[in-house]
Amino acid sequence: MGIADDSGIFRLASVGSYLDALSSITAAMSLKERSDLIYLDKSLRRLWGLGQNVILCWSLEESGVSVVVMPHYSVASLAAAATTGASGPDDPVRPSEDFFKALLSGKRQVSPRRLDHVARLLGAEKAHVPLRAPLGNHPAHEQIIETMVKRYSITYVPSRAVALFDIVGFGLLHPFEQMAQLNSLSYSLNSAQSKLLEKEIGVDFARTTTGDGFYVWNRAPDADANVNLYHLMYLVLADNAIARRKAQGNTVPKLRACFHIGSCYEFHQAEGLNPTLYHYIVGDVTIELARMIDRALPHQILLGDFRSEHRRPDGEPAQLDAMDFVVLASQSVRRLEGLELSGERIETIKTYLTGTRQADGAFTVRRITINDKHGLSRQVFNAKANIYRRNAEPILLGIEDRLIASLEVLNNRSEHLAARRLPETV
């Protein structure tokens, strides 16, 4: 039996059904292999202990699968100590922060020797799950076990794009209006994803509610995932803008949005006696977004001052800052031309960061320093998008730069940067 998670992606409700869905691959597996995989998942769930423990890594052995298991609070304590560099007399050698990040990112399968090293270094339990048939002879074995282990673990993602959509004035609404506006925003998210799929833009978006909005991110690991999420943000806001023009009553939300790229941790919360089938995220990127949105104006789109990974045409990695990222996104946004919004085809989309016009007609980019309620400051950019449709009024998303310059609501300081073109080598 399968279920659809909050991103609309079909997920499998159990390992048994997961194997059934892979019947073309698992047909070569013996009944013992299939039953051992199901038994292994039950054993991992028992070691997980309703969310009390974290399974950090695993290794194949002749007689079964070995794993390193540790209480989640112990992982948090060791990670915090690694970050601060603190150590005690009984534990003079602590694992470094880089050790934890490397352990919690990428593949969880390690060699038996590496597994023993991790257990000794962390003072963690090494558990062994004996199986009737040795696993590892079929290419699907490792993939399935890796998926199982990550469901009972934590994953560190060093760089991930996340968009935050926030409903303005949500707490002042009647409960029925709150429900209607959240449902409207959810529909706009689904509609935007459907439109990207029409253009064969590979998407694997996930979302989690903030109570008065949603965090949205792309599960896809490729270099285009961040840019695709940026396009999704504007399609969501465009669908919302059209709905607001047609709405009767207070059923469609007034939105503000933020976009940022940074590190985060992914995990599965307990739901009943099992971990959820979809991810939650928390980390630097969500913290930054929460503080940015608190200073955003209604209808405003704020972009964080980040650096992101990208691959050049020659395949070499490159670092892009936020300004370069927007230039890159504006080049690929042409892929969305031809899509229909409210029955009218998109002819042109322009996405940009706002600034002031200079004497020669060129524009600068305004970088704003905002202060949050904790007394911390961060730099952001004001983003806009203009969507021009055939036989219809243009959809203008975001707020104009002159509004930022004239209002002190943001309590901001700003500087003007020269607009730039993306280097040919990127």
* Residue after which a domain boundary falls, among 136, 152, 168: 152
Can you give the pLDDT at residue 272?
A: 53
Are residue 215 and residue 362 in the same domain, yes or no? Answer: yes
Domain-located, residue 424: no
Q: Number of C-alpha atoms within 13 angstroms, CB side, residue 382?
A: 29
Domain-located, residue 257: yes
**Separation CA 203–CA 199 (nearest Å):** 11
Can you give the pLDDT at residue 9?
A: 33
Q: Which residues contact 292 (CB under 8 A, 6 or more apart)?
A: 164, 258, 260, 302, 304, 370, 378, 380
Are residue 125 and residue 50 in the same domain, yes or no? Answer: yes
130's enclosing H/E stretch is strand 125-130
- Judge whether residue 397 has pLDDT over 90: yes
Are residue 82 and residue 122 in the same domain, yes or no? Answer: yes
- Judge whether residue 151 has pLDDT over 80: yes
424's enclosing H/E stretch is none
Domain-located, residue 329: yes
**Separation CA 95–CA 79 (nearest Å):** 8
Instruction: List residues bridging with 378 in a β-sheet.
Output: 370
Domain-located, residue 252: yes
Q: Considering only CA atoms, which of 90, 119, 92 is closest in space to residue 103? A: 119
Are residue 131 and residue 62 in the same domain, yes or no? Answer: yes
Domain-located, residue 423: no
Can you give the pLDDT at residue 423?
A: 45
**Separation CA 127–CA 115 (nearest Å):** 11
String of DSSP letters for 283-344: SHHHHHHHHHHTTPPTT-EEEE--EEEEE-TTS-EEEEEHHHHHHHHHHHGGGGTT-EETTE
Are residue 148 and residue 255 in the same domain, yes or no? Answer: no
Contact 41, 132 (CB under 8 A): no
- Number of domains into which the chain is organized: 2
Domain-located, residue 425: no
Q: The domain containing residue 357 runs over which residues?
A: 157-418
Contact 74, 59 (CB under 8 A): no
Q: Which residues contact 140 (CB under 8 A, 6 or more apart)?
A: 22, 25, 26, 29
Q: Considering only CA atoms, which of 163, 244, 231, 187 is closest in space to residue 387? A: 231
- Judge whether residue 10 has pLDDT over 70: no
Q: What is the CATH number of the domain that holds 270?
A: 3.30.70.1230
Are residue 324 and residue 291 in the same domain, yes or no? Answer: yes
Can you give the pLDDT at residue 50?
A: 83
Please, which pLDDT band fits residue 3 given cuts at 50, 70 and 90? very low
**Separation CA 396–CA 406 (nearest Å):** 20
The pLDDT tens digits for 173-228 are 999 999 999 999 999 999 999 999 888 887 788 899 999 999 999 887 676 889 99
Are residue 146 and residue 169 in the same domain, yes or no? Answer: no
Can you give the pLDDT at residue 69?
A: 94
The single-letter DSSP state of residue 91 is B
Are residue 12 and residue 73 in the same domain, yes or no? Answer: yes
* Residue after which a domain boundary falls, among 152, 168, 187: 152
Are residue 66 and residue 87 in the same domain, yes or no? Answer: yes
Q: How high does pLDDT run on average in the chain?
A: 82
Domain-located, residue 6: yes
Are residue 142 and residue 162 in the same domain, yes or no? Answer: no
* Residue after which a domain boundary falls, among 111, 127, 152: 152
Strands 255-267 and 301-304: parallel
Domain-located, residue 194: yes
Please, which pLDDT band fits residue 399 given cuts at 50, 70 and 90? very high
**Separation CA 332–CA 167 (nearest Å):** 28
Identity of residue 95? P
**Separation CA 17–CA 32 (nearest Å):** 16
Are residue 258 and residue 139 in the same domain, yes or no? Answer: no
Can you give the pLDDT at residue 271?
A: 58
Q: Considering only CA atoms, which of 3, 33, 66 is closest in space to residue 134? A: 33
The pLDDT tens digits for 77-127 are 777 665 555 554 455 456 777 888 888 888 899 999 999 999 998 888 899
Are residue 46 and residue 127 in the same domain, yes or no? Answer: yes
